[in-house]
Amino acid sequence: MSARVSAVPSTTAPSLSSRRRLGDRLGDGALHGLTAAAAAAAAALLIAIAWKIFDVAHPAISKYGFGFLTHQGWDVARNKFAALDFIWGTAVTSFAALLIATPVSIAIGLYLSELAPRGARTVIASLVELLAAIPSVVLGLWGILVLGPFVGQDLEPWLHRHLGFIPLFSGTPENAGILVAILVLTIMVVPIISSICRELFVGVPTELEEGALALGATRWEMVRGVILPYTRSGVAAAVILGFGRAIGEAIAVTQVMGAGHGIHWSLFATGDTLASRIAEQYAGAAGLQVASLVYLAAILLVISLLVNLAARLIERRFTYQRTGGS
């Protein structure tokens, strides 16, 4: 701006440059305004989503209040709706899926960051990530027609024979049910958690790792003593993100969970999650049923907002600590 120093004042130069500067100022302002408007629109969209969902759910919210969350039953014929069955189904499937997926994902992350042969590393990593790219409806199709029969006819009878004394494995084996949903959800969240884990593990300073090895630690002791403590909060954030994915999956779960009712201890029983119940009743819902379905969506929205914010906050604090606030 201060570069325009001319010894000889000319009559044309100032007007020309000021016109150009005006054009540039307008251009700068226009682009700044346009991009800012787009960013504001994204924020507005988020607010609009929350507002609209609570707005449409309002008839059900005002009729049932918080009792909706603590009661069972979904009876379209009698126009009575409640969410506890589906909250239960969501909690059981997501927690169980994470219980399996977390150690597996950490192991995959460790394998990819520490063990895999250098040349194969990126190939295996992208294959694992490709697992996340499979459309959920295709995974659900595979779940109901391939995985389901395997679970119903081989896995569940086996579990029942050997571990049947545990309530989880009681009941009659079925091709569709909670266990199939848990397995499908596990397949969906493993690539998400493991790719974040891999990045975290790769980011551990080499000096720390080599220090542990130099002190005579085995590789596993180095992992347990250095890598895992160092990345703990990041891994926690990854697991929470995986949880957010698991509770929100509607399509594949709808296909394999069998649209059941009630709260059962048996993993063989059919069930429904918040998201899958919404997806099932897309056709022909009316009146209070619509409001109740959207009330389910509102519950899901609140949980997933909390989950996402929590994960991002942990993630942010993690990177803040590791980079010394820069």
Site for another protein in 188-207 (CB under 8 A): 190-191, 194
Residue given tokens 């009729």 in the structure block: 63
Q: Examine residue 275 and tell whether it contacts another protein (CB under 8 A).
A: yes
Site for another protein in 98-117 (CB under 8 A): 103-105, 107-108, 110-112, 114-116
Q: Are 160 and 180 in contact (CB under 8 A)?
A: no
What are 55's two structure tokens? 């707005």
Report the SS3 class of residue 81.
strand
Site for another protein in 217-236 (CB under 8 A): 218-221, 223
* Pairing between β-strand 74-75 and β-strand 80-81 as defined by DSSP bridges: antiparallel
C-alpha triplet 249, 253, 256: angle, nearest 5°: 165
Q: Examine residue 301 and tell whether it contacts another protein (CB under 8 A).
A: yes
| Distance (Å, whole) CA 128 – CA 194 | 8
Considering only the stretches 8-16, 79-87, 119-127, 164-172, report the one whose residues sit in contact with another protein under the rule CB under 8 A.
Answer: 119-127
Site for another protein in 250-269 (CB under 8 A): 250-251, 255
Among 126, 153, 172, 321, binds another protein (CB under 8 A): 126
Q: Examine residue 75 and tell whether it contacts another protein (CB under 8 A).
A: no
What are 21's two structure tokens? 């500067």
Among 89, 140, 177, 258, binds another protein (CB under 8 A): 140
User: Could you tell me the smallest distance in angstroms from the CB atom of residue 164 to another protein?
Assistant: 26
For the chain, state the CA radius of gyration.
27
Q: Examine residue 128 and tell whether it contacts another protein (CB under 8 A).
A: yes
Window 19-58: contact mask with another protein (x via CB under 8 A): -----xx-xx-xxx-xxxxxx-xxx-xx-xx--xx-xx--
Residue given tokens 């000021």 in the structure block: 18
Q: Examine residue 215 and tell whether it contacts another protein (CB under 8 A).
A: no
